[in-house]
Amino acid sequence: MASGFGAPIDDNVDVSAGKYFNTDIPIGKRPIDDADLHNQRKRRRSQSCELTSDDTNDVRNTTSISTIIKAVERLSTEPRLVADGSRENVLTTTVGKHNDLNAITPQTMSDVLNGVYRNQIDHLTIVDCRYPYEYDGGHIKGAINLYNKQAIKEFLDNTVTSPNKNHVIIFHCEFSTERGPKLYRLLRSLDRELNAELYPRLNFPEMYLLEGGYKEFFQTHKEHCFPQSYMPMLHKKHSEDLRHFRVKSKSWAAGDKPRQKSRVNGSGTRLCF
C-alpha cells in the first residue's frame, strides 16, 4: 500500500482514525497496551524537545561556518572588495610580484600624496619597512618606520580604528620584494587573529604594497621624499648596521611558521590576502 507522501507503508500497519501502529507483534514479547504506548510517546516528545549545551554550540558553530563560507565566496568572486568585504578598494591596483597582495604603482602613490583621493581616504599610513639607517637616508614624507614584528604588533594594538573611517595602509621596503610583503602579511595575520570571532571583520581591511619599493618611487617622484636621497641597504658605510638589524630580524622571525601560499578556489580565482 502506498502513502500520500510517496513512501510505501507496510500492509500490517493500521491507518484508521488518522493514526497508525504496527499490528505485527514480535513472538515471545508481551503485547503493548495503550498505557505503554502513551508513556513511550511522552518520553519521545520530551527527548526531542531537549537541547543540550553541546547541541546549542553545534547550532552556533554551524551558523558561524555558514557565515565564513559566504564571506569567502564573496571575497573570491569580487576582487575589488577590501579584505573584510565592506566596500571596494579606493586605489587602482596593478599586477605585482606578489599576486596575493594588493599592489599599487609609484604613480598611484604620488596621486595619493597629491590629494587626488582626499575625499575617499580618511586616514593614510605609509609603513616603511626598511632598516632605520635606510629610512634616515631618505623616505617618503609622512612615512613611519616599522621594520620588525614587535613594531607591527604595537602598531596594531595602539592604533584606534573605526568601521566608519577609511584607514588606508601602504607598505614598502627598498624594492618591495621581501621585507615590505612580509610585514604586510604579518599585520593581516595578526589582524585576523584579533578578529577571529567576528570574521571577516578587520581593523585594517584596506592595505597595499608599493610596487618597486622606495628605489623606484624615488627615481620618479623624489619631490615626495625627505631628505631627497636614497640610501641602499647594502651601502658599505652601513655594513655594521646591516649586520646588527639582520641578526635582530632573524631572532624575531625564528619562531615563525613558513608562509603558506595564497589559496586558489575551485574556479581558479586567487584569493587576495
The pLDDT tens digits along the chain (273 residues) read 444 434 444 444 333 333 333 333 333 444 545 555 455 554 444 444 444 555 445 434 444 787 777 777 777 778 789 999 999 999 999 999 999 999 999 999 999 999 999 999 999 999 999 999 999 999 999 999 999 999 999 999 999 999 889 999 999 999 999 999 999 999 999 999 999 999 999 999 999 999 999 999 999 999 999 999 999 999 999 999 999 998 877 765 544 544 444 444 444 444 555
Of 49, 129, 173, 225, catalytic: 173
Neighbours of 209 (CB within 10 A): 28
pLDDT at 20: 31
Active site residue 129: no
Q: Find out whether 156 and 248 touch, Cβ atoms under 8 Å.
A: no
pLDDT at 109: 98
Q: Please enumerate in sequence order all residues whose Cβ is within 8 A of that of 136, keeping only pairs 6 or more positions apart, or say none.
A: 231
CA distance 119 to 247: 43
pLDDT at 248: 78
Q: Find out whether 159 and 201 touch, Cβ atoms under 8 Å.
A: no
pLDDT at 64: 74
CA distance 203 to 212: 26
Q: Find out whether 205 and 160 touch, Cβ atoms under 8 Å.
A: no
Q: Is the pTM of this model over 0.95?
A: no
CA distance 250 to 91: 33
pLDDT at 72: 76
Q: Please enumerate in sequence order all residues whose Cβ is within 8 A of that of 77, keeping only pairs 6 or more positions apart, or say none.
A: 267, 269
Neighbours of 20 (CB within 10 A): 14
